[in-house]
């Protein structure tokens, strides 16, 4: 397997303007956040046990199938949670989401891509690897979630 880092994505803790946390005292601490339902995108791992991140022990969780469903649930005020900033930005700018400072460190993840190496590189893989090296493609993959 070969691994190449693509970049990083910042996350923002966001709620709908009508959600109770929207008017809560800042920064939000873990105890305050834990009293409200979190929205989580299901782990799509096909192997292993999967990964759970950014959920607090004992917190009620609404698990949805995709990040788009997570965004929609948070826009409707069904819960709170961390969203990729590029995905949330248009809704923050439009006032449909509110970014809330939290006492925990801000979230940032490194994004990469993996491919099977060693068995010969076909033309499709060679084409894709060349595309993903282009700044325009990386920008689209890392930042254009809302389109």
Write the pLDDT tens digit of every residue in 2-35: 999 999 999 999 999 999 999 999 999 999 999 9
- The alpha helices in 60-107, defined as continuous H runs, are 67-75, 85-93
Enter the pTM of the model. Answer: 0.86
Q: Which residues pair with 109 in a beta bridge?
A: 9
Residue recorded with tokens 């809560």: 24
Give the 3-state secondary structure of residue 136.
Answer: helix
Write the pLDDT tens digit of every residue in 23-75: 999 999 999 999 999 999 987 655 555 455 678 889 999 999 999 999 999 99
The second-level CATH assignment, the architecture, of 9-109 is: 3-Layer(aba) Sandwich (3.40)
Question: What are the structural domain ranges in the chain?
Answer: 9-109
């Amino acid at each position: 397997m070969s691994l190449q880092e693509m970049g990083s994505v910042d996350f923002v803790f966001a709620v709908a303007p009508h959600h109770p946390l929207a008017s809560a005292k800042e920064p939000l601490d873990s105890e305050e956040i834990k009293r409200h339902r979190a929205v989580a995108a299901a782990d799509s791992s096909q192997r292993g046990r999967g990964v759970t991140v950014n959920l607090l022990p004992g917190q009620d969780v609404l698990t949805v199938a995709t990040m788009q469903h997570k965004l929609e649930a948070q826009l409707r005020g069904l819960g709170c949670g961390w969203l990729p900033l590029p995905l949330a930005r248009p809704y923050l700018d439009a006032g449909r989401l509110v970014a809330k400072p939290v006492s925990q460190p801000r979230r940032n993840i490194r994004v990469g891509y993996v491919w099977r190496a060693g068995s010969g590189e076909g033309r499709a893989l060679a084409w894709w690897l060349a595309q993903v090296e282009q700044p325009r493609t990386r920008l689209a993959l890392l930042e254009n979630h809302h389109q």
